[in-house]
Amino acid sequence: MKLIVFSLFLWATLGVSVSSDLASDRAALLALRAAVGGRIRLWNLSSSPCSWTGVNCVQNRVVELRLPGMGLSGQLPIAIGNLTQLQTLSLRFNALSGSIPSDFAKLTTLRNLYLQGNGFSGQIPGFLFTLQNLIRLNLANNNFSGTIPESVNNSTRLGTLFLENNHLSGSIPNIELPSLVQLNVSFNQLNGSIPKGLSGKPKSAFQGNSLCGKPLVSCDGTESSGRKLSGGAIAGIVIGCVLGVLLVLILLICLCRRKGGKKTETRDIAPAKLAEIEIPADKAAGESDNRNGGALSGVVKNDAKSSGNKKLVFFGNAPRVFDLEDLLRASAEVLGKGTFGTAYKATLDMGVVVAVKRLKDVVVSEKEFKEKMEIVGAMDHQNLVPLRAYYFSADEKLLVYDYMSTGSLSALLHGNKGAGRTPLNWDTRSSIALGAAKGIAYLHSKGPGISHGNIKSSNILLTTSYEARVSDFGLAQLSGPTSTPNRVDGYRAPEVTDARKVSQKADVYSFGVLLLELLTGKAPTHALTNEEGVDLPRWVQSVVREEWTAEVFDLELLRYQNVEEDMVQLLQLAINCTAQYPDKRPAMDEVTSQIEELCRSSDQRT
């Protein structure tokens, strides 16, 4: 009997303890609500705090508090530290100010802390790095000042540390954290040399400071490099280069004697694998409508039909299966009218399907055209639509691509709005963003002067498995200054005055608009929709300034659970990409790595 009474007493005690813990969590949340307001004032106080927006509980304890972009303002109270089981705290993208409260030191179970996009100030408190379970810390885009705490090395599990766009000064401490995968301290007021342990991080992680050392310029003013070569090694390299040059000369002589250039061939093309499409628009004046299968010869001028010694010029080493005459006999269907011309689906007699773009307003000479096509044809990446062949004459310029039957991102986002529409879920959209970023980053990696010049959703084509392929790269420099219509202006960076001269940072801006389009479902221009387009960067920033609402995101995305954090993170990246000044925008390789990390963390949660 005594045992039964004791057991009942024990269960009652535990029940009171659980209730007391939840009551303590509730009190902390109410103190936060009273201090910073915003949309959390809509919490239903008559219900359990575990049902409040942004609050997730496990076993009646608050373990996640996610309030990104909720219009919170003012200073945080001494209260959040009482959420002793908290694992994730996200207050990003609000209007919070002041310093980080000292009771954060009590959040011993905290794994993820996201405070970026606020107005926090003062020094970064060292007690944050006493939190032994902390894995991700993002304090970017605030007003923190002072130095980076030496105690950062105490946070032994830290994998992500983002401190960019603050007012931090002094040198970077010698951070020795094997777990640290992501670091960004760009656009602060840091100086001195970069610690050797961080030399493997990308350049973009340190830009916008007065830093030196690998991966930036070395502190003696020369490009950073690895170990110095010995005299014997240098001699070996010189001898090897001389022998290599001699071998190349011998090979060139042999090739010239055989007259066998293998750079290009003039016969046929590899079978089509993928597709190219643009949103259909009104056909150009004077063009035949071949949607019902007329021959391609019906739309090209006689100059191409009686081509004489003019032939298709092919790229690559794959087997050739058709020539210019075969192509002109192919049945043609108009896919759409784009910035640089009209695209056709061409079905050849042997069943091969390709996409043919008939260029307009080409102003460069034949020599310059061929040089640019050689550059475009050499681009080889899984996220690019490859150029297979081209034809040049005085009156006709044709480009041959793989055909992609799924269509463009623009078609999927803004096309069919009816009941039969297939919505694009978060995983698909983030995957498309990553694929497009990889393709553009590859182009940029080919040299500082290489850019796309015309990034927009109708130039992001999709495979049957919704993998992104970037098209129309390298064509902006071929046309005259007035050939680019106004409909691309929604993607164009503010500093661009000539569509033929687009920098890599202007590409980043256009890609940022593309990300906003993916997130909001809104077209940034008047083209291709029945609704008026909007200036996406300006619209998003105005919504953020006033008060965050869920309306900024595409309604199709709001049905998916546990992705709000990732959506806001991608939104922040898009806003960074569309910064007014080019030097404030990240490089495409940094954009790609951030989207990769976002996709990885998303996969881990699912």
Q: What is the pLDDT of residues 116-145, one digit of tens each?
A: 889 999 999 999 999 999 999 999 989 999
pLDDT of residue 604: 65
Please tell me the distance from the alpha carbon of residue 411 to that of residue 458, in angstroms, as a whole number.
Answer: 7
Please tell me the distance from the alpha carbon of residue 528 to that of residue 339, in angstroms, as a whole number.
Answer: 13
Q: How many residues does the chain have?
A: 606
- Known binding residue 357? Answer is yes
Higher-pLDDT residue of 171, 569: 171
Hey, which residues does 460 pair with through a beta bridge? 470
Reference 47, options 28, 70, 67, 22; nearest CA is: 22
Dihedral pair phi/psi, residue 192, rounded to 5°: 90, -165
Minimum mean pLDDT range among 17-31, 299-313, 498-512: 299-313
Using the predicted structure, report yes or no on whether residue 69 has a pLDDT greater than 60: yes
What average pLDDT does range 577-601 have in this prediction?
Answer: 91
Q: What percent of the chain has pLDDT over 70?
A: 76
pLDDT of residue 122: 95
What average pLDDT does range 168-190 have in this prediction?
Answer: 91
Please tell me the distance from the alpha carbon of residue 120 to that of residue 139, in angstroms, as a whole number.
Answer: 9
Q: Does pTM surpass 0.75?
A: no
Farthest CA pair distance, the chain: 109
Using the predicted structure, report yes or no on whether residue 304 has a pLDDT greater than 60: no
Contact criterion met (CB below 8 Å) for 211 and 191: yes
pLDDT of residue 303: 52
Residues with Cβ < 8 Å from 456, sequence gap 6 or more?
410, 488, 491, 510, 514
- Which amino acid is residue 472, in one-letter code? D
Using the predicted structure, report yes or no on whether residue 376 has a pLDDT greater than 60: yes
**Placement of tokens 């709005």 in the chain:** 417
Please tell me the distance from the alpha carbon of residue 396 to that of residue 307, in angstroms, as a whole number.
Answer: 10
pLDDT of residue 310: 64
Residues with Cβ < 8 Å from 342, sequence gap 6 or more?
283, 284, 287, 299, 334, 336, 357, 358, 360
**Placement of tokens 């546990």 in the chain:** 562
pLDDT of residue 326: 77
Question: Cα 136 vs. chain centroid, distance in angstroms?
Answer: 20
Using the predicted structure, report yes or no on whether residue 570 has a pLDDT greater than 50: yes
Contact criterion met (CB below 8 Å) for 335 and 278: yes
User: pLDDT digits over 331-348, tens only?
Assistant: 777 887 777 788 888 888
DSSP H helices, 344-503, are 366-378, 409-414, 426-445
What would the two tokens of residue 428 be? Answer: 């698909």
Please tell me the distance from the alpha carbon of residue 114 to that of residue 394, in angstroms, as a whole number.
Answer: 59
pLDDT of residue 512: 95
User: pLDDT digits over 234-284, tens only?
Assistant: 666 666 776 777 777 777 776 666 544 444 443 333 333 333 333 233 333
What average pLDDT does range 391-412 have in this prediction?
Answer: 86
